[in-house]
A and B are shown apart, each in its own frame.
Chain A
């Protein structure tokens, strides 16, 4: 009896969401006609589904504000993360450029003295006077 009732109850539950076969529909309809208990069960199920369908989270008027604040913070964090992530690469590139520049100076000038690096190793005092006279 319990097994039969469970089977019919299963049909009843499925009938609320999916289409039953013709045989199943006939069987369920017959059972509903014959059983008051099953009809009550159906009503309870429908009432429960109505309650669930009408259920929603409580109102929260400040939710959108919090999302926008979080979005702003997230954008800042993302920017910081990009900078932090790129920093080693940028630093490595700078070191490489510097090394290449110093290497080139050393190869062409044969020295890494400060005057050589800034390009005034061949400037003599007379050149400076001439530059001043030319109005530079």
Chain B
């Protein structure tokens, strides 16, 4: 089994299969972060794809100080925040914000309705948070990064992350209780 480093090296030399293996290895992590930030919408699929395109274009800059998963998550958060800013600029886009994508990003219907409902309600609860709080909730509670790692990724003091996390959890708890 190839390590990330091996695959990055091969992909850097133009080996498309190696890059595909990296995509397959990290797609779930990246898609979870992006869908957590943007909801299950068509734009989320585009943004998740762009995370890998962006990585491919700047692969030579990846020094491996952080793990590849962390590096990709950071790109995913940045691109998701850009997408949220773009949405805010476009009222029309904003109105289609919660419209589920029926062409590309259909959820797996083989799952039980209960599981789909739960997934949907968590996604909606996350979307109800302000982006600053949502980012922290996704990184800490969904992706499982520690407060320290989250703070480093977002370049925020740990105290700020902890207090935003506490407020985000209060709100999530309220929303999920009412679901």
Contacts and interface: CB of A to CB of B under 8 A. Distances in A.
Interface of A: 9-10, 13-14, 16-18, 44-45, 48-49, 51-53, 55-60, 63-64, 66-68, 70-71, 74
Contacts of B106: 58
Given A17-B165, A55-B122, A63-B48, A71 B172 contact: no
Q: Chain B contact residues: over half helix, strand or loop, or mixed?
A: helix
Nearest to B118: A51
B162 A18 contact: yes
Nearest to B31: A57
B142 A64 contact: no
B173 to A, nearest CB: 6
B158 A18 contact: yes
A58 to B, nearest CB: 4
22 contacts: A10-B166, A14-B162, A14-B166, A44-B173, A52-B137, A53-B144, A55-B122, A56-B28, A56-B142, A57-B28, A58-B107, A58-B111, A60-B27, A60-B31, A60-B45, A60-B105, A63-B45, A64-B23, A66-B45, A68-B16, A71-B16, A74-B53
Contacts of B53: 67, 70-71, 74
A74 B147 CA distance: 36
Contacts of A48: 169, 172-173, 176
Contacts, number: 100
Contacts of A53: 141-142, 144
A60 B24 CA distance: 10
Contact of A63 (B19, B27, B142): B27
A55 B111 CA distance: 13
Nearest to A18: B162
A88 B73 CA distance: 40
Nearest to B27: A63
A17 B162 CA distance: 7
